[in-house]
Amino acid sequence: MKLPAYKDILRMAKEKVDDALAPVRAMRAKKQAELEMAKLDEEIATMTAKIHEICCDREINFNSLIDKQDQLALTERKKKQYQKILDEMFPE
């Protein structure tokens, strides 16, 4: 009986560990995306408040208002993209 090479044994053990950790890594990636979405929710709330503040000023700065609306739309679009990615990569 011939023994397998030690490096092959180590490689096989590493593959088994990688297989065991795959669900944990997938869950970690999903949670990271969910955390980013929570951060985007916070940004959306902050931007919405700033837009309301601009609208309440005596002198409305339309350029600033447009910039904030653009930032808000971009952030909302990013959040939708995160959600789409989550739905596609992590179906339940």
Encode pLDDT of 31-77 as tens digits.
Answer: 999 999 999 999 999 999 999 999 999 999 999 999 999 999 999 99
pTM: 0.76
Q: What is the mean pLDDT of residues 67-88?
A: 96
**DSSP letter string over 13-75?**
HHHHHHHHHHHHHHHHHHHHHHHHHHHHHHHHHHHHHHHHHHHHSSS--HHHHHHHHHHHHHH
Helix (H, G, I), strand (E, B) or coil at 5: coil
Q: Give residue 9's pLDDT.
A: 74
- The answer to whether 47 touches 71, Cβ cutoff 8 Å, is yes
